[in-house]
Amino acid sequence: MSCSPFDLREYFYRELADPQRGQVEAHVKTCQSCREELDRLRLTETALFALREEEIPQRIAFVSDPVFEPSPWRRALSAFWNSGARLGFASAVMLSTALVVFALHRPAPAPVVNVAPAPAQTVAAAAPGLTDAEVQVRIDAAVTKAVVGVEARQKAQLEQVKADLDGARQRLLLASQEFDYNSKRQGAHYVTTGVVAPPGVGEPK
């Protein structure tokens, strides 16, 4: 068991940070057992290096054959689909483009029209130089004309509705008369043939 402040083997493998290495080195100078342990590790590694690397018996080389090489387009496509980051970036670009296009082609909001003061403004704008009385006369005439027009339209609509209702009432009367006539005719038929009611299909006679 080592009494070193840090693992001697990590020191030996150079896995310790510099301050820790310094502490271990200071300890090893004063500790006989740790020094011997470190020597054994070094001897072991030296022995391991007796087994040296061998040369590779046959060099490896690849030959470029255009027949088997994927086309640049296919390579680019493959690289694109195999990369999550690129796919994500492309999605973000498409989304941004869509947002920009939507923002540029969005229809303008409908203008707000102030209806009430329009006639006066129109009259005043159309005929500058008129007195207020003349303007008022013109407004009155326009209002009267509009009211007459509206009343005429309403009267015409009323007449139309009245005519439609009369037509419907006539059709209902005709249908009612026809129904009465058919009922009487069916009753007369049953009386002349002596049959009370026609038998249904499958019913016992």
Partner 1 sequence: MIFRAVEDADLIRRAARGSVEAYNLLVSRWEKRVYNYLLRLTRHREDALDLTQDVFLKAYQNLRKLDDPERFAPWLYRIAHNEAYSLFRKRRPESESEEVAAEATETGINVAGSSVFPIELSLAVAAALDRLSPDQREAVVLKHYQGFKFEEMAEILECPVSTVKSRLYTALELLKAELAPIKGVS
Q: Does 55 bind partner 1 (CB under 8 A)?
A: yes
Q: Does 40 bind partner 1 (CB under 8 A)?
A: yes
Single-letter amino acid code for the residue at 143: V
Q: Does 56 bind partner 1 (CB under 8 A)?
A: yes
Binding segment for partner 1 (CB under 8 A), chosen from 8-16, 88-96, 183-191, 197-205, is 8-16
CB of 80 to partner 1, least distance (A): 11
What are the C-alpha distances in Å from 185 to residues 20, 142, 178, 191? 123, 64, 11, 10
Largest Cα span, the chain? 143
101/106 Cα distance (integer angstroms): 8
Among 1, 61, 110, 191, binds partner 1 (CB under 8 A): 61
Q: How many CB atoms lie within 10 A of CB 194?
A: 6
Q: Does 68 bind partner 1 (CB under 8 A)?
A: no
Task: Find the length of the chain.
Answer: 205
61/66 Cα distance (integer angstroms): 16
Nearer to partner 1, 87 or 173 (CB): 87
Binding site for partner 1 (CB under 8 A): 9, 13, 15, 40-41, 43-64, 69, 72, 75, 78-79, 82
